[in-house]
Amino acid sequence: MEIFKKMFAEKILSFHEGTNRSLEILTKMPLVGEYISNQVIHKRNSKMRMTIGVMAVLVRMIVQFIKKYLYVAVFIYLPYLFMAQFNPLIRDHKESAVLFMFFMLSTICGSLANNTLLAMGDRDYLMVRVVLVSPYMNFLGRLAVKMVTDFVYFTIILNLFGVSFVHSLLLSLVTMCIRPAGEMIAVLCFDQMQSMYNNRNAFNGTVIALSVFVAYGMPLLKRQISSDWLFFIHPVFVVAALFIGVFSVYYLWDYPSYRKIMQEALHIKREV
């Protein structure tokens, strides 16, 4: 239990912060403010305080869901609608088009070019330097939350955009497994491939450019979505992705130099 408290210390802190902000808003409301103030502040009603905190978390989750929904709508569904106007074969294979573009833009590009390891924000600085959570636990907690939320949210969102539940589940599972692989590659670049690490902006730019070209360019050039492009929802590939994910998590769990990476990330942040 103690290890989970350390890993998810940031989320526990966010829970209490959200509870306090919600209480501050509610106590200023004309009809319920006095009652809330009397119950929570004066009578110290812990159940009501907990209920308000849970409601604040649910609101935050809904906001995160909406952001991811808009991401899929803008970068995947709208391009599909544009392509479908001129390509009947793409129009008739909506699910395949959505799956393929999501795999390239989120599973591949998102995992390689948008990893969290070197993204040392003010929140991470607070957790490591003020709350005194180890960089190791802070990073693993962030990664675990990202993997789980991506899996749950994207399974629902892909299904809402017309992808079957089974295929939505499989692609979200593959995406969840590839996330730690992207983080592992970032660690390997930091440790073993300094030239690539020093040119990480060029690397990220190349990954983004290639992913965008393949996601949008290939369907436009071929004027269809080939069934061969959907290899990532084949059971063999899904099992392979699971093994990759497990190996990557094991590697990240056993990696010893997170403090060194944190110092480098802070240095980058000061330069920016």
State how far the Cα of 139 lies from the Cα of 124, in Å rounded to an integer.
9
Greatest Cα pair distance, the chain, in angstroms, is: 68
H/E stretch holding 211 reads helix 200-212
- The predicted pLDDT at position 16 comes to 78
Report angle CA 109, 116, 195 to the nearest 5 degrees: 75
Question: Residue 22 in contact with residue 55, Cβ under 8 Å?
Answer: yes
Check residue 190 and give its pLDDT: 73
Tokens of 135: 């960089």
Burial 198-214 (b: 16+ CB within 10 A, else e): eebeebeeebbebbbeb
Higher pLDDT among residues 168 and 27, named by residue: 168
> How far is it, in rounded angstroms, from Cα 15 to Cα 229?
42
Q: Look at 143 and 32; give whichever has higher pLDDT.
A: 143
| In contact, 179 and 146? CB cutoff 8 Å | yes
Over residues 56-80, the pLDDT tens digits come to 889 889 999 999 999 999 999 999 9
pLDDT in tens, 220-250: 888 888 888 899 999 999 999 999 999 998 8
- C-alpha distances (whole Å) from 120 to each of 54, 81, 82, 195 are 27, 37, 37, 21
What counts of helices (H) and strands (E) characterise the chain?
Answer: 16, 0
Residues 157, 163: Cα–Cα separation, whole Å: 9
pTM: predicted TM-score of the whole model, two decimal places: 0.85
What gap in Å lies between CA 161 and CA 78, rounded to an integer? 11
Q: Tokens for 140?
A: 């693993």
Confidence class for position 267, pLDDT limits 50, 70, 90: low
Q: Distance between CA atoms of 271 and 266, rounded to whole angstroms?
A: 9
Which amino acid belongs to residue 30?
P
**CA–CA separation, 171 vs 111, rounded Å?**
14
Q: What is the pLDDT of residues 111-121, one digit of tens each?
A: 888 877 666 66
253 pLDDT band, cuts 50/70/90, is: confident
- What's the pLDDT at 73? 95
CA–CA separation, 165 and 156 (whole Å): 8
Task: Give the pLDDT score at 248.
Answer: 92
Contact 139, 256 (CB under 8 A): no
Does residue 157 or residue 57 have the better pLDDT?
Answer: 157
Instruction: List Cα–Cα distances, 179 to 34, 45, 143, 249, 256, in angstroms.
Output: 47, 41, 8, 10, 20
What is the model's pLDDT at position 220?
87
pLDDT at 8: 75
